Amino acid sequence: MIVVAVLIAISTLLAAAPPAGDSVQLTLNSQNGPARVPFDLFANHIYMRGRVNDSDSLWVVLDSGAGGNCIDNAVAKSIGLEATSTGHGRGAGGEVETGNIPSVTVKLPGVTLDGAPIVSMPLESFRRRSGRPMDVIVGAPLIQRCVLRIDYAAQVLEFLPAEGFEYQGKGAIVPVTLRNGHPYITASITLTGQKPIEGQFVVDLGSSQAVILTPAFGDQHHALETLGPTIEGRGLGVGGQLTTRIGRIASVEVGGVTFKQPITSLPSSSQYYVGDPKAIGNIGGDIMRRFTVTLDYQRQRMILEPNAQVGEPFEADMSGLGLRMGPDGSNALEVEWIQPDSPAFEAKIQPNDLIEKVDGKPALDVGMRGMREISRRNGERHVLSIRRGDQTMEIALITRRMI
């Protein structure tokens, strides 16, 4: 048991991917119904096992905020992919240099995307921050060639042919506008003490968070003053680190469902990128996981069916620990930073401390997933075995809701 883990806001929103032309083919290798692909939901991100060309098994992340597919530079090199040109891609954290690879085959269980371009870029930093690799990101080139049903409760993706698809359920049908491969919907938010505000939001399954508001919108509506108590967030997006203030807005309404007091981030950087300058924010995985989501891009719609998690409260970090994987060979989690006036700050934990055990268990066995879960439970006491230089010590930390 434990504490910690902070914001890991992986928002790709790749705008500079090379276009996927008519030669790209999606094949569903299923004889009886949809192709079903299991996934692991980790920090609200959808991880699948897959391959690129004839590679060994890789971790593939589904991201509706990615206008193109991308692959980590080191992975691309290891499987012999060579860029034919270079360029720049833009993510939530800024610009990165990219290599353009004109055609690869991406294989998931029962699903093959053949002939799609892919861009190579550095994704290694996500592994250290999250504790697991993000080898490949797949976005619009895959999603726009099928109907994709995301069953978050069962952790299964269903790929169906777009031709002839008819929806028979009772979910809310939400119109979608596609711009550069990014899906935008109209949703409504209410800042505390203000009237509801309707606007365009990008649906970004590559974001772990519930709601992110753009700096421009925040300035226009004085959003920071409405968030109540806030904590600092240090998120990671393609292109660099994001510094945000995290608090709560009164509500957000998506697909006819009103969510009260969702955790909301307000980036401080004017460089924060959501694709369309007219959009006022980003709706991410902490909202979408509360539905079964059907993405039907060819009919310009998204279908939302509430699941059993729809009424769960929204929680943020209650430890104050910003963690990353420790250096190779350390068998530890490393404290990257400390939230001011937090339980970790009060316990006198310091940046660069190495956490070797949590409540007597090896820290790597607990992992980032376990630390994230524990850090969102209020009022728990956990004992951390810490190495600081040549010293070892045990420090008790009691989680506390800060927002």
Q: 95 in a domain, yes or no?
A: yes
Residue at which a domain ends, from 236, 265, 288: 288
Q: 165 in a domain, yes or no?
A: no
Q: Are residues 102 and 154 in the same domain?
A: yes
Distance, CA of 39 to CA of 24 (rounded, Å): 24
Distance, CA of 172 to CA of 202 (rounded, Å): 17
Q: Are residues 30 and 129 in the same domain?
A: yes
Residue at which a domain ends, from 108, 125, 160: 160
Strand duo 263-267 + 211-213: pairing: parallel
Q: Are residues 218 and 261 in the same domain?
A: yes
Q: Are residues 253 and 280 in the same domain?
A: yes
Q: How far apart are the first and last CA of the chain?
A: 22
Domain count, the chain: 3
Q: In one letter, which amino acid is 393?
A: M
Q: Are residues 82 and 127 in the same domain?
A: yes
Q: Which pair of tokens denotes residue 181?
A: 């491969």
pLDDT per residue as tens, the chain (403 positions): 222 222 223 334 444 344 445 689 999 987 778 999 999 999 999 999 999 999 999 999 999 999 999 999 999 999 999 999 988 766 655 677 889 999 999 999 999 999 999 999 998 888 888 889 999 999 999 999 999 999 999 999 999 999 999 999 999 999 999 998 999 999 999 999 999 999 999 999 999 999 999 999 999 999 999 999 999 998 766 666 778 999 999 999 999 999 999 999 999 876 566 667 889 999 999 999 999 999 999 999 999 999 999 999 999 999 999 999 999 999 999 999 999 999 999 999 999 999 999 999 999 999 999 999 999 999 999 999 999 999 999 999 999 999 9
Contacts of 195 (CB under 8 A, 6+ apart): none
Q: 210 in a domain, yes or no?
A: yes
Q: Are residues 156 and 179 in the same domain?
A: no
Q: What is the CATH number of the domain that holds 206?
A: 2.40.70.10
Q: Are residues 101 and 183 in the same domain?
A: no
Q: In one letter, which amino acid is 251?
A: S
Q: Are residues 272 and 339 in the same domain?
A: no
The closest alpha carbon to 18, from 96, 137, 116, 106, belongs to 116
Beta bridge partners of 242: 235
Q: Are residues 181 and 71 in the same domain?
A: no
Degrees to nearest 5, angle at CA 369 with 317 and 70:
100
Residue 7 — φ and ψ, nearest 5°? -60, 125
Domain that holds residue 340: 321-398
Q: Are residues 41 and 75 in the same domain?
A: yes
Distance, CA of 257 to CA of 293 (rounded, Å): 13
Q: 294 in a domain, yes or no?
A: no
- Please state, as a whole number, how many other Cβ atoms lie within 10 Å of the Cβ of residue 217: 18
Q: What is the CATH number of the domain that holds 358?
A: 2.30.42.10
Degrees to nearest 5, angle at CA 299 with 61 and 295:
25
Contacts of 361 (CB under 8 A, 6+ apart): none
- The per-residue DSSP string of 27-51 comes to EE--SSSSEEEE-EEETTEEEEEEE
The closest alpha carbon to 249, from 288, 294, 217, belongs to 217
Q: What is the value of pTM for the model shown?
A: 0.91
Q: 328 in a domain, yes or no?
A: yes
Q: Are residues 81 and 121 in the same domain?
A: yes
Q: 8 in a domain, yes or no?
A: no
Q: Which pair of tokens denotes residue 251?
A: 């509500």
Q: Are residues 106 and 210 in the same domain?
A: no
* Cα 185 from chain centroid (whole Å): 18
Tell me if 97 sits within 8 A of 113, measured CB to CB. no
